[in-house]
Each structure stands twice: as structure tokens, then as C-alpha cells.
């Protein structure tokens, strides 16, 4: 199978397939006559596995580990579950941070007059003019990107 056929079958772009190949996650054989990549059905299955693992948020290093576990008949289910539980913890933390950001944005929008004046509470907050970080409201409990937390 050539790369276009594989891309269509597994639902990845040819660029993604080449990237995974560069990382060694899939290693197609080369045609001896023209050195084109020749993908096997096993390669297609590995790529589809990668697509599904990435779709639920696994990083490439974990995808590599999951592929190894998939290929290992002696794997233990607890190893796989451990990876999933770790990902769930990461997602919970991300959700918590997103909720803090949402609360902060909501507060900024509420503080802004939204009129034609040049005085803007949102700009003041983002520039640090709206008070020191020690008097920051609980909704601004997270550190803005690039901001140094004095604590």
C-alpha cells in the first residue's frame, strides 16, 4: 500500500504519517526498485491506533508506550489503566485551570464599561495596573502567561 492509500484508510494526513515514521512509530519497508514506502496492514493498524490514542489526548511518548503494550501479549491491563488514570488527572487539572481562567475573564468583562472611553479595566488588569498580584482576586489566582508569581 502507498502512503496515500494508507492515509485514506487510517484517517491521517500523509504529513502525519511521515512524522510518525520519522519518530520511528511506524517503519514501512522500502521497495527495492524505487525506494518508495510500502505499508503493510499492520502499519495501517498501528497508525489507526495512534490516531485514536491522540484523539483522546495522549502525548506521543505515551502513544509509543501504548503501542508497545499493544504489541506485547504479556502486557498487564493495570499498566494500560495506569496510563489512562494519569491522563485523567492531567485533564482534571486542565479543567480546573480553564475554570479559573473563565472566572477571571468573566470578572474582567464585568469590570469593563465597554464604552467609547480609552480607559479600560481589562487593559489595566492585564497590564498589572489594576492592583498588585498580592491583592489579586481569587478568580485571578492563576498566573497569566509570562507573569512572574512573587509567591
Asked if residue 148 has pLDDT above 60, the reply is: no
DSSP annotation of 57 reads: T
Q: How many other CB atoms sit within 10 Å of the CB of residue 18?
A: 15
DSSP annotation of 74 reads: T
What pTM, to 2 d.p., does this model score?
A: 0.73
Task: Give residue 147's Cα distance to chain centre.
Answer: 23
What are the structural domains of the chain? 3-57 (1.10.1660.10), 89-140 (no CATH)
Identify which of 50-54, 110-114, 119-123, 130-134 has the greatest average pLDDT: 50-54
Return the half-sphere exposure (C-beta side, CA atoms, 13 A cut-off) of residue 102. Answer: 6
- 29 sits in the region (left: phi over 0; alpha: psi -120 to 50; else beta) called beta
Amino acid at each position: 500500500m502507498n502512503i496515500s492509500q494508507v492515509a485514506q484508510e487510517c484517517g491521517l494526513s500523509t504529513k502525519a504519517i511521515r512524522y510518525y515514521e520519522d519518530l520511528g512509530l511506524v517503519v514501512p519497508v522500502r521497495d527495492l526498485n524505487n525506494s518508495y514506502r510500502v505499508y503493510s496492514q499492520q502499519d495501517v493498524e498501528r497508525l489507526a491506533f495512534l490516531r485514536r490514542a491522540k484523539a483522546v489526548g495522549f502525548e506521543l511518548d505515551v502513544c509509543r508506550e501504548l503501542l508497545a503494550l499493544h504489541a506485547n501479549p504479556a502486557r498487564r491491563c493495570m499498566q494500560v489503566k495506569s496510563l489512562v488514570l494519569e491522563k485523567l488527572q492531567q485533564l482534571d487539572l486542565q479543567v480546573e485551570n480553564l475554570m479559573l481562567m473563565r472566572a477571571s475573564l468573566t470578572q474582567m468583562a464585568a469590570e469593563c464599561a465597554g464604552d467609547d472611553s480609552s480607559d479600560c479595566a481589562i487593559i489595566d488588569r492585564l497590564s498589572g495596573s489594576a492592583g498588585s498580584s498580592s491583592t489579586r482576586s481569587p478568580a485571578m489566582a492563576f498566573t497569566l502567561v509570562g507573569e512572574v508569581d512573587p509567591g
